[in-house]
Amino acid sequence: MDDSGLNVAEKNLYPFDDISSQFAYNNFTDKVIPPTNEMCFITHDGKLQRPYRTFNRSFEENLQHPYFRIMDYSNSLLTAWRSQDSKEPIELELLKLCDMSHNNVTRIQASGNIDSLILNKTEKLLAMVYHDEDWRVDIRRLNNFQLREVVYHVTPIIGVFFYNDVLFSLSNKLIVSYPEERHENCLISSSRKILGWAQHPTDPYLVLIEPERYKIIDLNTHALVKTAEWTDQMKWFNVMQKYLNHSFVLHVDKSTAEFSTDGNRLFFGGYGQLAVFDWHDMLRPRCVQSEPANIIDIYSNNYCAEDPGKSIDAHIIDMVPINRDKLLCVTADGYLSMVNIRTGKIFLLLKPGSGVRMNSLQLCANGKYLAMLGYYYNYNNSGCEVESALLIWKLSRLLNKGSVI
Query: CATH number, domain at 339?
Result: 2.130.10
Domain that holds residue 258: 40-58+192-404
pLDDT at 364: 92
Burial of residue 114 (number of CB atoms within 10 Å: 0-12, 13-18, 19+): buried
Centroid of chain to Cα 6: 26
Q: What is the mean pLDDT of residues 3-17?
A: 40
Segment 343-356, tens digit of pLDDT: 888 998 998 888 88
Residue 295 located in a structural domain: yes
- The total domain count for the chain is 1
DSSP state at residue 213: E
User: Higher model confidence: residue 63 or residue 203?
Assistant: 203
Residue 111 located in a structural domain: no
pLDDT at 265: 94
Res 260 pLDDT > 90: yes
Res 3 pLDDT > 50: no
Q: What span, in angstroms and rounded, lies between the C-alpha atoms of 315 and 273?
A: 8
pLDDT at 252: 65
pLDDT at 307: 46
Contact 258, 198 (CB under 8 A): yes
Segment 288-342, tens digit of pLDDT: 888 899 988 886 544 444 444 444 557 888 899 999 899 999 888 888 999 999 8
- The per-residue pLDDT of the chain, averaged, comes to 81
Residue 317 located in a structural domain: yes
Per-position DSSP letters for 298-327, written without gaps between them:
---GGGGTT-TT-----BEEEEEESSSSEE
Residue 367 located in a structural domain: yes
Q: What span, in angstroms and rounded, lies between the C-alpha atoms of 14 and 97?
A: 25
Q: What span, in angstroms and rounded, lies between the C-alpha atoms of 37 and 41?
A: 12
Give the chain's count of helices (H) and strands (E): 4, 33
Residue 175 neighbours by CB distance under 10 Å = 20
pLDDT at 28: 38
Percent of the chain with pLDDT over 70: 80
pLDDT at 129: 92
Res 15 pLDDT > 50: no
The pTM assigned to this predicted structure is 0.84
Res 18 pLDDT > 70: no
Segment 73-83, tens digit of pLDDT: 888 999 999 88
Residue 156 located in a structural domain: no
Q: What is the mean pLDDT of residues 230-259?
A: 67
Res 167 pLDDT > 70: yes
Residue 109 located in a structural domain: no
pLDDT at 37: 56
User: Higher model confidence: residue 91 or residue 272?
Assistant: 91
Q: How confident is the model at residue 280 (pLDDT cuts 50, 70, 90)?
A: very high
Residue 155 located in a structural domain: no
Residue 205 located in a structural domain: yes
pLDDT at 299: 65
pLDDT at 403: 65
